Structure 1
Amino acid sequence: MSQLDASIQELLSIEGATGAALVDISSGMALASGGSPGFDLTVAAAGNSNVVRAKLKTMADLDVKGNIEDIMITLSSQYHLINVLNTSETSGLFVYLVLERNTANLALARHKLNAIASRISL
């Protein structure tokens, strides 16, 4: 199993997780993915790359300094977490995690996501 696949499996072990992907911001392509969130994860990964690119553009337009750490989208039955990787080795990538809202502990999931994301390398 590759290191990326192992990271996806670790993300999916978070309570309430139903899908996870490591995504290239520029292309929207999922480098690794797994789970069954009830929708096409590759389409969601590409769509969420648009969200990240739009936020980066807005930050540039406003001359806001700093890096995006994460973006959270709350739906009636799910949480969608986007964790932007900012190390020199992983710059340009983000982790996308889908959680079932009724079974996930959001605070704990974010904590575990940050820990896992910090160990991802290519």
Structure 2
Amino acid sequence: MPTAAEGAVDVFESGGIFLMASLDSAIQQLLAIEGAVGAAIVDYASGMALAQGGNPNFDLGVAAAGNSNVVRAKLATMRDLGLADEIEDILITLDSQYHLINVLHTQGAQGLFIYLALNRQSANLALARHKLKGIASQVSV
């Protein structure tokens, strides 16, 4: 298999499960989704993005920190309600954008979420959510 330095997509098979070896590769796949404005993989405890990419005018550092607050607040509310469920995703709909948060549950990715901002005019929300779920299932840290 070619190395990442040779420009390969860093996906490998382990025990029949495909794992994504590179967070940057995941970001590139996210940005290939129609209408993507920006994407980040974020540690919600610290609010720091481990990987990010997209429109340079879209401040992903601010988005990562702010959406970490959203995830932590929802987890606290679920705990207060006695819910044992896990967050799958959170959708925030704005006039001009969709903001998708997908909390990761893959091995080694606990405490992380994928943040994806989409242009509402050019994105297909259902297709974007489907693609995001597929990418999220492959992310491994």
TM-score normalised by the chain length of structure 1: 0.96
Residue segments in structure 1 that go unaligned for 5+ positions in a row: none
Secondary structure of 2:40 counterpart: strand
Q: Following TM superposition, by how much is the alpha carbon of 1:17 offset from its aligned partner in structure 2, in angstroms? A: 0.4
The aligned counterpart of 1:88 is 107
Query: CA contact under 8 A between 2:91 and 2:98: conserved in structure 1?
Result: yes
Report matched runs for 1:60-71 at 5 Å. Answer: 60-71=79-90
Extract unaligned runs of 5+ from structure 2: 5-20
Per-residue CA deviations over 1:64-96 (Å, capped at 9, x if unaligned) read: 111000000000000000000012311100000
- Of 47, 52, 76, which residue of structure 2 is paired with 1:57? 76
- RMSD of aligned residue pairs (Cα, Å): 1.2
* Worse-matched range after superposition: 35-44 or 23-32: 35-44
Q: Which amino acid aligns with 1:21?
A: A
Runs of 4+ in structure 1 deviating by more than 4 angstroms, as ranges, are none
TM-score, normalised by the number of residues in structure 2: 0.83
| Secondary structure at the counterpart of residue 123 of structure 2 | coil
Work out the CA distance in 1 between the residues paired with 2:98 and 2:57.
Answer: 13
Paired positions, count: 122
| Structure 1 residues 73 and 37, CA gap change in structure 2 (3 angstroms) | farther
> Computing the radius of gyration over CA atoms, which structure comes out larger, 1 or 2?
2
**For residue 25 of structure 2, what is the amino acid of its counterpart?**
A
Q: Which residue of 2 aligns with 1:30?
A: 49
Q: Which amino acid aligns with 2:54?
A: G
Answer yes or no: is the 8 Å Cα contact 1:70–1:83 preserved in 2. yes
Q: How far did residue 13 of structure 1 move?
A: 0.1
**C-alpha distance in 2, partners of 1:23/1:17?**
17
Counterparts of 2:91 and 2:129, CA distance in 1 = 10
Between the two structures, name the one with larger relative contact order (CA 8 Å, sep ≥ 6): 1
Report the structure, 1 or 2, having the larger helix content: 1
2:6 paired with 1:6: no
Matched-pair identity in %: 68
